[in-house]
Chains A and B, each alone.
Chain A
Amino acid sequence: AQSVTQLGSHVSVSEGALVLLRCNYSSSVPPYLFWYVQYPNQGLQLLLKYTTGATLVKGINGFEAEFKKSETSFHLTKPSAHMSDAAEYFCAVSTQGAQKLVFGQGTRLTINP
């Protein structure tokens, strides 16, 4: 079985500062890892994903994440926060052929002017 832990239900950063959202996963088989963003009253939009290959993955809106197998982590970063980044972020894990996505509890990102 898989599980995801997102450290910090709420993260607040200043505009222009580094964004770091933490995600740790548990999986007995090689995982597929995803970060989704959800703006208020909207659906989930895929930011980026790790399947195989390069462990540093780049996504939309300047976000990137690094898969670290030894640390079972997939933290999301962005060098410089923008006001439009304020949203809820979900980390999720899946495995080969699996129909289910296992979500973390989410992290609400607030950007201070």
Chain B
Amino acid sequence: DTEVTQTPKHLVMGMTNKKSLKCEQHMGHRAMYWYKQKAKKPPELMFVYSYEKLSINESVPSRFSPECPNSSLLNLHLHALQPEDSALYLCASSQESSGGYNEQFFGPGTRLTVL
């Protein structure tokens, strides 16, 4: 299985809602990533988990809260979002290699709309 899956595919939420995005991989990868992508822009890194521990937080607002329950799962909890948070949220995973390259495999994304 060389796939990263993300659910839901689409999400519409109000600014007072709480929702979660889910990402799953079964490739045995030990690094997982959340990216945010606005239209016509490259993905922007938000968080990196390495061996289920948060290793990079790119100064993301606290209304985004990541969670890595186990090595195959990555969640992104959303609370009190703003309309400007509307974007495509991409999950990726990679082998965790300190001695080589870390090829990232991307999921299909969740299209988030905040009203």
- On A, residues with C-beta under 8 Å from B are 32, 34, 36, 41-46, 49, 51, 88, 90, 94, 96-101, 103-106, 108
In the complex, what's the smallest C-beta–C-beta distance from A37 to chain B, in angstroms? 11
Assess whether A97 is in contact with B98, with CB atoms less than 8 Å apart: yes
Chain B residues contacting A34 (CB-CB under 8 Å) are: 103
Assess whether B42 is in contact with A100, with CB atoms less than 8 Å apart: no
Kindly list the 9 A-B residue pairs having the minimum CB-CB distance in the complex, ordered from nearest: A103-B42, A43-B106, A32-B101, A44-B106, A97-B98, A43-B108, A43-B109, A99-B48, A51-B101
Assess whether A99 is in contact with B102, with CB atoms less than 8 Å apart: yes
User: Told that A51-B101, A97-B97 touch, could you supply 18 new A-B pairs with CB distance under 8 A?
Assistant: A42-B109, A43-B4, A43-B107, A44-B90, A46-B103, A49-B101, A90-B43, A94-B102, A96-B99, A96-B101, A97-B98, A98-B102, A99-B50, A100-B45, A100-B56, A103-B42, A104-B42, A106-B40
Cα of A46 to Cα of B31 in the assembled complex, Å: 17
Chain A residue nearest to B55 in the complex (CB): A99
